[in-house]
């Protein structure tokens, strides 16, 4: 933490230390650290340089917040946007040495051309343009030297801070900082294996095979290694180059809406979503400007959800726009996101107080990401713990929405997302889904039926030998037998009550013996009364 403070002070960012809970006790050390950058330099520039010096994890944080131009001052957003693909590159000699070691032969024998100047440089790796021996144009992605050591160092710092928060911060138990860091550790370490990234890319390409929404470049597996990824080189306009897109008369509204549809399709239909979709990783192919197509790169971070999380998220989105606050509250309870003793009416009222003011705005001004944040803030008073498995999704939704609004400020996310969500929910709940589930479980059902005779035979043998007698005397089984006898008696009494009441009613309506009719009705009432379950 002293290292973090030293860098912040060096770049004149003292105010961050004063505002940060864990760094504030060390503020008296401000003046021991020399400043490298004059405080008169723009704040955005000083912040960008500080994040670069702090390391890859902090650069990724800067990349994430740079996509929300609707929430940041323009000058700071412009500076942080440079973190997407303009981090200082490492020397091409080091890249060549890594390639030579990976292939066990000089890179010049593998590639007919390898450009020394990188196309892009990011916090984890940098990308060089190259050509295979047959002339195929490719990109070669190479991990930064020593990046694993830097990330492990930063993770150690995060674990220390998380442990302090877990033990001494009043919100620590609810926010589950150690679990959040552990979830992030898996994500960031997976990103260091470029073979895994290649596999992610191949899966995403299959998911969008034949689609007009998204193009994913091919992977050249023969040339891939854990520290090297070789892919088809794609050409397109960077999504952030609005001037070029407008000059080509690109259909910007369709582009923004397609981006939202791609996201919701990945999350709900494919359950496999690109979770690092900042502008540096997204290009637009505008051969047909009226029908632009996205092209994505950098698949190191991929997110997935459990089926239950998918169900509850889709249900929450749909219920929100239907203003069904009771359903939102019930979904939070059913999913275990709030404690089981939470009063559903109180949670419903709290959710209503958050959502109703939002609906006074036009739909194109409603932010999905901010709604989620507000709902989670509201749930804090109900001791709702953080859901670490949803952090990637929240981050990605935050980025996608910011990018979409940057492209087309009038973007109506609900208009685009609603059909995808509704269709997916119908598929999950409809007859086709039930038949599919039955078909998938048929092998297990068949195996269980095959094993049933032998299981019954074994139980019979145990009973004959007296080995089953202990379980028959178990208190749980005795309670179950008592309940079954009570239910049987209750069904008998209800049958008597129904029969007597019907007979009595018929005698009163058609028979001359009125007294007998009332007697049957009385018997029916008594039988019905005694059949009621005792509490």
Q: Which active-site residues does the annotation give?
A: 276
288 within 8 A of 414, measured Cβ to Cβ: no
Distance CA 399, CA 394 (A): 9
Q: Which residue has the tokens 């770049």?
A: 11
489 within 8 A of 476, measured Cβ to Cβ: no
Q: Which of 9, 59, 56 shows the shortest CA–CA distance to 30?
A: 9
Q: Which of 471, 469, 493, 492 shows the shortest CA–CA distance to 480?
A: 471
- Give the number of other Cβ atoms within 10 Å of residue 67's Cβ: 27
Q: What ranges make up the beta strands (E) of 290-425?
A: 293-296, 302-303
| Neighbouring-strand partners of residue 137 | 131
Size of the chain in residues? 535
Q: How far is CA 441 from CA 391, 434, 436, in A?
A: 32, 11, 9
229 within 8 A of 219, measured Cβ to Cβ: yes
Q: How far is CA 426 from CA 155, 313, 420, 434, in A?
A: 42, 14, 10, 11
Q: Which residues contact 168 (CB under 8 A, 6 or more apart)?
A: none
Half-sphere exposure of 337 (CA within 13 A, CB side): 26
Taking every pair of C-alpha atoms in the chain, what is the biggest distance, in angstroms?
113
């Amino acid at each position: 933490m002293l290292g973090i403070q030293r860098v912040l002070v060096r770049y004149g960012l003292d105010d961050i230390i004063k505002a940060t809970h864990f760094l504030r006790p060390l503020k008296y050390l401000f003046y021991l650290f020399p400043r490298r950058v004059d405080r008169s330099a723009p704040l955005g520039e000083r912040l960008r340089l500080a994040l670069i010096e702090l390391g890859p994890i902090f650069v990724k944080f800067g990349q994430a917040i740079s996509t929300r131009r609707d929430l940041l001052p323009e000058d700071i957003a412009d500076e942080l946007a440079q973190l997407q693909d303009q981090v200082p590159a490492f020397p091409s000699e080091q890249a060549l040495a890594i390639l030579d070691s990976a292939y066990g032969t000089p890179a010049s024998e593998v590639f007919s051309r390898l450009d020394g100047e990188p196309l892009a440089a990011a916090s984890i790796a940098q990308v060089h343009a190259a050509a295979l021996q047959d002339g195929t144009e490719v990109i070669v992605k190479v991990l930064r030297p020593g990046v694993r050591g830097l990330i492990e160092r930063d993770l150690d710092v995060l674990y220390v801070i998380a442990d302090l928060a877990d033990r001494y911060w009043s919100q620590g138990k609810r926010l589950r900082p150690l679990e959040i860091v552990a979830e992030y550790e898996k994500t960031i370490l997976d990103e260091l294996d470029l073979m895994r990234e290649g596999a992610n890319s191949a899966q995403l390409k299959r998911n969008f095979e034949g689609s007009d929404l998204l193009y994913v470049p091919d992977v050249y597996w023969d040339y891939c290694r854990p520290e090297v990824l070789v892919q088809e080189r794609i050409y397109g306009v960077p999504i952030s180059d609005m001037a070029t897109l407008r000059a080509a008369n690109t259909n910007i509204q369709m582009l923004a809406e397609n981006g939202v549809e791609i996201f919701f399709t990945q999350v709900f239909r494919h359950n496999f979503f690109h979770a690092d979709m900042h502008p540096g990783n997204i290009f637009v192919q505008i051969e047909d400007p009226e029908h632009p197509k996205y092209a994505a790169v950098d698949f190191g971070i991929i997110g997935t959800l459990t089926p239950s999380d998918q169900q509850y998220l889709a249900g929450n989105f749909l219920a929100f726009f239907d203003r069904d606050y009771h359903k939102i509250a019930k979904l939070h309870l059913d999913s275990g996101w709030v404690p089981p003793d939470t009063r559903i009416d109180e949670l419903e009222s709290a959710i209503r107080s958050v959502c109703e003011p939002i609906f006074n705005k036009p739909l194109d001004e409603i932010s999905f990401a901010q709604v989620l944040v507000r709902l989670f803030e509201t749930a804090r008073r109900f001791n709702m713990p953080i859901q670490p498995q949803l952090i990637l999704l929240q981050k990605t939704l935050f980025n996608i929405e910011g990018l979409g609004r940057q492209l087309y400020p009038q973007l109506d996310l609900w208009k685009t997302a609603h059909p995808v969500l509704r269709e997916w929910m119908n598929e999950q709940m409809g007859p086709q889904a039930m038949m599919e589930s039955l078909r998938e479980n048929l092998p297990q059902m068949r195996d269980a039926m095959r094993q049933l005779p032998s299981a019954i035979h074994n139980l019979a043998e145990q009973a004959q030998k007296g080995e089953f007698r202990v379980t028959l005397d178990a208190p749980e089984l005795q309670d179950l037998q008592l309940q079954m006898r009570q239910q049987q008696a209750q069904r008998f009494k209800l049958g008597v009550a129904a029969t007597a009441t019907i007979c009595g009613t018929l005698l009163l309506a058609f028979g001359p013996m009125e007294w007998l009719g009332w007697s049957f009705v009385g018997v029916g009432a008594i039988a019905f009364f005694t059949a009621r379950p005792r509490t």
